[in-house]
Amino acid sequence: MLTGNLGLFIAGFILNFLAAFIIVRFVYYPRGRCNNYVFTFLAFNTVIYFIMGLFTSIEISIGAGFGLFALFSILRYRTETVPIREMTYLFVMAALPILNSIFWTSGQFDRILIVDILVLAVMWFLDREWGFNREQSQMNVVYEKIDLIKREKRDEMIADLSQRTGLAVTDVEIQNINFLRDVAEVRITYWNKK
């Protein structure tokens, strides 16, 4: 009996890890080619699945799941600012093993497959920006055409910044003006097309 339970536990882990790996490797990674968070995503997913697998009661598992989310929201990795996209993936990597563990424990194997496939599909769909354009305010620029910072010349300034930077600039925000040097520090917002 113990061997059968262990086999089911390992099978559940493999299914959960496979879903997490597919999301990280084939949805998250190709868009940014950044592997800084890959370890964190997969480690979170694995450890949370094992923690949830230790609880035999579904009520305890659900309470522990909410507790983990509360702890995660308090911690929020205070050591460094994590970008919104990575925070979203981290949240998914923390939620997926909780769902998988609860469904696995209750014997709802069909729901595990449905949930994993739907989460994977939604993440893939949204990360491809289908129907949405992702704006990202990311760049501060020192701008020397001080005559274009006037409100009535805003469109000219956006056109000039787009032409000079090669980015599809959609908005500008003046951060600082230095009339002695005839420059302005502006933050540009542009379409992020990776």
Q: Whole-structure pTM over 0.85, yes or no? A: no
Q: How confident is the model at residue 1 (pLDDT cuts 50, 70, 90)?
A: very low
pLDDT in tens, 45-65: 898 888 777 775 556 656 666
**Look-up of token digits 């005559």:** 147
Q: How far apart are the first and last CA of the chain?
A: 51
Distance CA 170, CA 91 (A): 30
Residue ranges of domains in the chain: 2-127, 135-191
**Look-up of token digits 């990202």:** 136
pLDDT in tens, 96-122: 988 888 888 888 889 989 999 999 999
Q: How confident is the model at residue 136 (pLDDT cuts 50, 70, 90)?
A: low
Distance CA 170, CA 184 (A): 18
